[in-house]
Amino acid sequence: MLIYNVMARLLDYPDQELMENLPAVIEAINEDKEISTQEREDLLNLISWMNMHDLTGLQSMYVQTFDMVPEHDLHLTHHLFGDDRGRGPALIDLSEYYKESGLEVEGKEIPDFLPLILEYVSTLDDLQARVFLGDAAKVLKVISENLEKAESPYARILRIVENRGHLAQAA
């Protein structure tokens, strides 16, 4: 589903390719009938904010937001286990799950990185995606609240992810 690909890209470290593709992303968001009005508004607001900054500034703000503040970390098991030894087996399980599902994790990113999770979720149908995200809803809520307290423009995107998971739990 498009919305998960879009959110994965917007929550990943910004690069020149992202900046060059933002007009196409805006067009895709506006054309997608599966995206609610509120979700569309939140996504477009983040993109508008991104467009107000140059790439170096965006990269600096991204690092300050997600890499320098542990409470904003996009590695979900960090919020469950911290540096506890239980984190390793959880990461291995998630990595194996991806392999069994046909997703090859490339690069140096560990499997609990939210943009990678969203990339995986984009391969599922809507109900499966929401159920998968529902399993992480509590962690997503914590990150969303932390980003909101910091008045981060990324907070609303985390809320979209969280809300989509909560809808599956309510069903």
In angstroms, the Cα distances linking 112 to 16, 39, 59, 117, 161 are: 24, 23, 21, 7, 14
Q: What pLDDT band is residue 25 in, cutting at 50, 70 and 90?
A: very high
* Separation between Cα atoms, residue 15 and residue 20, nearest integer Å: 9
What is the residue-averaged pLDDT of the chain? 90
pLDDT of residue 170 exceeding 80: no
In this predicted structure, what is the pLDDT of residue 167?
60
In this predicted structure, what is the pLDDT of residue 82?
66
Look up the pTM and report it: 0.89
6, two tokens: 């879009």
151 dihedral zone (left: phi>0; alpha: psi -120 to 50; beta): left
In this predicted structure, what is the pLDDT of residue 90?
77
pLDDT of residue 55 exceeding 90: yes
For residue 75, list its beta bridge partners.
Answer: 113
Q: What is the mean pLDDT of residues 50-74?
A: 97
In angstroms, the Cα distances linking 165 to 127, 129, 145, 159 are: 10, 8, 15, 10
Q: What pLDDT band is residue 140 in, cutting at 50, 70 and 90?
A: very high
* Separation between Cα atoms, residue 153 and residue 61, nearest integer Å: 10
In this predicted structure, what is the pLDDT of residue 69?
95
Numbers of helices and strands, H then E, in the chain: 10, 0
- Percent of residues, the chain, with pLDDT higher than 70: 94
Q: What is the mean pLDDT of residues 132-154?
A: 94
pLDDT in tens, 69-96: 999 999 988 777 767 676 778 777 888 8
33 dihedral zone (left: phi>0; alpha: psi -120 to 50; beta): alpha
